[in-house]
């Protein structure tokens, strides 16, 4: 059976994404960089507030999300490796994301049962 609500929601998302891409393709380098920094800031705040691994990680390094103000500041953060992910799977799940919507994928992109 076709879920009309899902189709409408998907259409609205795709439509707004398309509109954004049409507008942003003409942004200046400065405006694009400002947008990237703003989105990065929102991601870091979300991660700090909702992902236990990142809360502990930032606290251990004595950092707050606001300490990352430029793309270059990302160098303050070490890479997230496959080993770190496999050792911290549960702590890398955002508390505000429904667990029933999680999908487990391997590095090859194949879906597997958790």
83, 82, 85, 86: which is closest to 54 by C-alpha?
Answer: 85
Q: In the structure encoding, which two tokens stand for residue 65, read together?
A: 């999300």
Most confidently modeled range among 1-5, 51-55, 85-89: 51-55
Q: Are 85 and 92 in contact (CB under 8 A)?
A: yes
Q: For residues 31-49, b (16+ Cβ closer than 10 Å) or e, as one string?
A: eeeeeeeeebeeebeebbe
Residues 6+ apart with CB under 8 A from 104: 111, 112, 113, 114
Q: What is the pLDDT of residues 55-95, one digit of tens each?
A: 999 999 999 999 998 888 888 888 899 899 989 999 999 99
Give this prediction's pTM: 0.74
pLDDT for the residue numbered 111: 58
Cα–Cα dist 89/34, whole Å: 32
């Amino acid at each position: 059976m076709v879920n009309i609500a899902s189709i409408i929601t998907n259409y609205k998302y795709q439509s707004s994404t398309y509109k954004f891409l049409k507008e942003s393709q003409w942004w200046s380098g400065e405006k694009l960089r400002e947008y990237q920094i703003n989105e990065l800031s929102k991601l870091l705040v979300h991660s700090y507030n909702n992902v236990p691994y990142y809360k502990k990680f930032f606290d251990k390094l004595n950092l707050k999300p606001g300490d990352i103000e430029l793309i270059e500041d990302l160098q303050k953060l070490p890479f997230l490796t496959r080993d770190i992910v496999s050792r911290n799977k549960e702590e890398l799940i955002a508390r505000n994301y429904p667990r029933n919507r999680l999908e487990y994928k391997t590095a090859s992109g194949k879906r597997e049962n958790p």
